[in-house]
Structure 1
Amino acid sequence: MKYLLLIAIVLLVAWLWRGNRQQDRATGGSAARRPPQVAQQEMIECPVCSVHVPRSDALPGPDGQFYCCAEHRSRAAG
């Protein structure tokens, strides 16, 4: 009886593994598991502290330069 149970477990594992492989082939395999590529952004250096931040996160100052935070922008203007 224990051999029958062992065979059933082995067949169940093989069936699940085979179904998983077929699903991977249908969805493109490992390419489907890769994280999406993030577009590269230009990095801006804050003139006050020299920290680099993405241009989309940088704050423009009145002098045309970009700053990492509002505190550094106000410190440079004042």
Structure 2
Amino acid sequence: MKYLLVLLVIVIAIGIWRSRRRVERAQRPAAPRAAPLQPPQDMVACARCGLHLPRSEALVLEAPQPRYYCCAQHRAQGPA
């Protein structure tokens, strides 16, 4: 009978502990969601050094055909 009483107290203590954990989880603010990934961008090579970079970051020299450069210095020097 004594062991049954001890077991009952342990089960009640575990039940109280688990219910408090549930309440704490419910009150915890949700983790911020990650920003949605951007779609892949087209990559272009610098006409001077061959460095690949996204088209949105490249400097463009509109000639008969567009040429892409990684920096203003390479654009001023022209293609290799």
Q: Shorter chain as normaliser: what TM range?
A: 0.5 to 0.7
User: Which is richer in helix?
Assistant: 1
Match of 1:65 in 2: 67
Aligned residues with identical type, % of pairs: 30
Of structures 1 and 2, the one scoring higher in RCO (CA 8 A, sep 6+) is: 2
Residue 34 of structure 1 deviates from its aligned partner by: 3.8
Match of 2:10 in 1: none
Offset from partner CA, 1:9-57 (integer Å, 9 cap, x none): 765333112x169x86xxxxx9x73431202111110021111111111
Compute the TM-score of the two structures, normalised by the length of structure 1: 0.58
- CA distance 1:62–1:14, shift in 2 (3 Å): closer
The CA RMSD measured in Å over matched residues stands at: 3.2
Give the number of the structure whose alpha-carbon radius of gyration is greater: 2
Q: Does 1:13 align with 2:21?
A: yes
- Please list every run of 5 or more consecutive structure 1 residues that lacks an aligned counterpart in the other structure: 1-6, 25-29
Supply the AA of the counterpart residue of 1:69.
Answer: C
Compute the TM-score of the two structures, normalised by the length of structure 2: 0.57
Match of 1:4 in 2: none
- CA distance 1:72–1:59, shift in 2 (3 Å): same
Match of 2:47 in 1: 47
